[in-house]
């Protein structure tokens, strides 16, 4: 299996991945989950432990923050086959991070990983493991792979019955008073508010890049709304400090969380009813859609406020497009058309591929669909291409030139 599972934020992708893992584990196989952040990996580990009950047996959890002694212990039990399920962040990409024989790889929020990282999970293994990649907003390259047929595409089209669409609005650059009023209304309604900044430290005035950082946002929001209500969360904090900050936010003792994109994926805080994104033009379409998916998960009305730093026309047009469209898959298709699919025989994940003379994933969608159906029929009837000598010669010429398509393996 090489499968891309696309579903909007909160549509149930994790439940599908758990079902796939359960099927493999009950068949005696091994499973690895690759997660984008420590917080998400820890949350999934708890969910899997509850959901799989005794079927998974003991699990190994490997994070970037795992102490050296604990990591050596985990690597030992993994190597000896004493665990059949591993959950972790980029740490599991290192030697000894996954079982020698691996039957299923689940990559959560695949847009957060590069081609080489995804490839490292499956390449060189025999037999090759099944691959299930999950995303609400697949990157251009991955969407193109689905169009070419190198990834089977499954879409979860429905949203949870109690989930209301998140209202998204574009604010005027620098309108702090409006941002403060909007946050105050959300807090008065008993909610929780995420405020996300582009990076931990804002860029100096003489340099390009986002000016808004954690300290700046904390200063003016704390002064306006009460410093005792604010908690910060970012990647330089220890895993324990991140957990404490998130727990304070969940409990409501600190209902205003200021953070970086560490909050982008996988976090479930049902009371959260407002997402404010400062310096919104510095985020990609996938990031913006993922971030607004963190609110309204308890069924209440929720909103997302996009606050750019500048009045750049091109950036604001893109932000207006996000505000007007609530469908992550549609946004991903538009992103593919805007940015290109990247290199087919390489690792670049966006931009034009100058090696393509035809069958472009943006321009030739109908041709791709027809070719994919024809190729599937040919391979089903003639796997060795013995009855299709011209096609066989063309395929072998391509491979002999040294071109190594990583598409199917990388997802």
Residue 257 banded pLDDT, cuts 50, 70, 90: very high
CA distance 297 to 194: 13
Secondary-structure percent of the chain, ordered helix, strand, coil, rounded to 5 = 45, 15, 40
- The CATH fold assigned to 1-162+344-411 is Rossmann fold (3.40.50)
Helix or strand or coil: residue 180? helix
Q: What is the mean pLDDT of residues 359-382?
A: 80
Residue burial 322-356, b: 16+ Cβ < 10 Å; e: rest: bbeebebbebbbbbbeebbbbbbeeeebbeebeeb
What tokens were used for 311?
């009045």
pLDDT of residue 408: 40
Cis geometry, peptide bond prior to residue 127 (ω within 30 degrees of 0): yes
Q: Are 321 and 334 in contact (CB under 8 A)?
A: yes
Give the residue, 336 or 97, on which the prediction is more confident: 97
Choice among 26-40, 151-165, 303-317 with the minimum mean pLDDT: 151-165
Residue 30 scores a pLDDT above 70: yes
CA distance 8 to 195: 21
DSSP state of 190: T
pLDDT of residue 113: 72
pLDDT of residue 315: 86
Q: Are 368 and 148 in contact (CB under 8 A)?
A: yes
pLDDT of residue 406: 43
Residue 378 banded pLDDT, cuts 50, 70, 90: very high
Give the residue, 141 or 221, on which the prediction is more confident: 221
CA distance 293 to 280: 15
Residue 340 scores a pLDDT above 80: no
Give the residue, 125 or 79, on which the prediction is more confident: 79
Over the chain, what is the mean pLDDT? 83
pLDDT of residue 214: 94
Q: Where exactly does CATH 3.40.50.300 map onto the chain? A: 1-162+344-411, 167-325
Task: Choose which CATH entry (1.10.275.10, 3.40.50.300, 3.40.1190.10, 3.40.50.1820) describes domain 167-325.
Answer: 3.40.50.300
Give the residue, 333 or 388, on which the prediction is more confident: 388
Give the residue, 205 or 309, on which the prediction is more confident: 309
pLDDT of residue 411: 44
Residue 240 scores a pLDDT above 90: no
Q: What is the mean pLDDT of residues 8-28?
A: 89
Q: How many other CB atoms are found less than 10 A from the CB of residue 387?
A: 10
CA distance 135 to 328: 9
Helix or strand or coil: residue 392? helix
CA distance 261 to 199: 8
Helix or strand or coil: residue 15? helix
Residue 157 scores a pLDDT above 60: yes
What tokens were used for 383?
């796997």
Give the residue, 371 or 358, on which the prediction is more confident: 371
Residue 318 scores a pLDDT above 60: yes
Choice among 1-15, 115-129, 133-147, 198-212 with the minimum mean pLDDT: 133-147
Choice among 308-317, 334-343, 354-363 with the minimum mean pLDDT: 354-363
Which of 111-115, 241-245, 295-299, 362-366 is predicted most confidently?
A: 241-245
pLDDT of residue 266: 59
Q: Are 32 and 86 in contact (CB under 8 A)?
A: yes
Find residue 149's DSSP bridge partners: none
Find residue 134's DSSP bridge partners: 5
For 35-66, how does the pLDDT look when each residue is reduced to its tens digit (9 = 90+)? 988 888 888 888 888 888 777 778 899 988 88
> In angstroms, how far is CA 345 from the centroid of its own chain?
23
Q: Are 336 and 144 in contact (CB under 8 A)?
A: yes
Choice among 101-115, 165-179, 273-287, 303-317 with the minimum mean pLDDT: 101-115
Choice among 13-22, 174-183, 234-243 with the minimum mean pLDDT: 234-243
Choice among 136-145, 233-242, 280-289, 362-371 with the minimum mean pLDDT: 136-145
For 201-230, how does the pLDDT look when each residue is reduced to its tens digit (9 = 90+)? 988 876 778 888 999 999 999 999 999 999
Q: How many other CB atoms are found less than 10 A from the CB of residue 32?
A: 26
Residue 346 banded pLDDT, cuts 50, 70, 90: low
Residue 236 scores a pLDDT above 80: yes
């Amino acid at each position: 299996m090489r499968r891309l599972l696309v579903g909007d934020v909160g549509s149930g992708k994790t439940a599908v991945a758990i079902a796939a893992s359960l099927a493999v584990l009950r068949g005696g196989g091994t499973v690895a989950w690759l997660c984008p952040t420590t917080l998400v990996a820890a949350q999934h580990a708890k969910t899997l432990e509850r959901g799989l009950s005794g079927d998974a047996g003991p699990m190994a959890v490997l994070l970037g923050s795992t102490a050296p002694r604990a990591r050596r212990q985990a690597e030992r039990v993994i190597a000896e086959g004493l665990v059949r399920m591993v959950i972790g962040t980029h740490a599991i990409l290192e030697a000894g991070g996954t079982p020698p024989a691996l039957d299923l790889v689940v990559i959560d929020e695949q847009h957060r990983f590069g081609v080489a990282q995804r490839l490292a999970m499956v390449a060189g293994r025999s037999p090759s493991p099944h691959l299930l990649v999950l995303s609400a907003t697949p990157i251009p390259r991955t969407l193109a792979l689905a169009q070419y047929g190198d990834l089977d595409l499954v879409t979860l089209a429905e949203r949870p019955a109690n989930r209301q669409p998140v209202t998204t609005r574009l604010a005027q650059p620098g309108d702090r008073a409006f941002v403060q009023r909007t946050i105050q209304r959300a807090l008065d309604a008993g909610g929780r508010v995420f405020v996300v900044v582009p990076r931990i430290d804002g860029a100096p005035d003489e340099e390009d890049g986002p000016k808004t950082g954690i300290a700046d946002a904390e200063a003016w929001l704390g002064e306006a709304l009460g410093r005792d209500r604010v908690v910060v969360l970012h990647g330089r904090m220890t895993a324990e400090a991140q957990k404490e900050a998130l727990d304070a936010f969940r409990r409501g003792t600190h209902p205003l969380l200021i953070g970086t994109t560490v909050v982008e994926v996988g976090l479930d805080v049902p009371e959260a009813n407002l997402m404010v994104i400062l310096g919104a033009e510095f985020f990609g379409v996938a990031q913006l859609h993922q971030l607004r998916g963190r609110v309204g998960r308890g069924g209440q009305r929720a909103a997302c406020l996009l606050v750019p730093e500048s009045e750049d026309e091109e950036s604001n047009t893109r932000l207006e497009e996000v505000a007007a469209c609530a469908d992550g898959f549609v946004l991903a298709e538009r992103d593919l058309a805007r940015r290109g699919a990247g290199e087919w025989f390489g690792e670049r994940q966006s931009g034009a591929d100058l090696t393509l003379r035809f069958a472009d994933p943006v321009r030739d969608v109908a041709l791709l669909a027809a070719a994919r159906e024809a190729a599937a029929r040919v391979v089903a009837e003639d796997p060795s291409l013995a009855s299709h000598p011209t096609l066989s010669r063309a395929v072998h010429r391509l491979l002999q030139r040294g071109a190594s398509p990583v598409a199917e393996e990388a997802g």
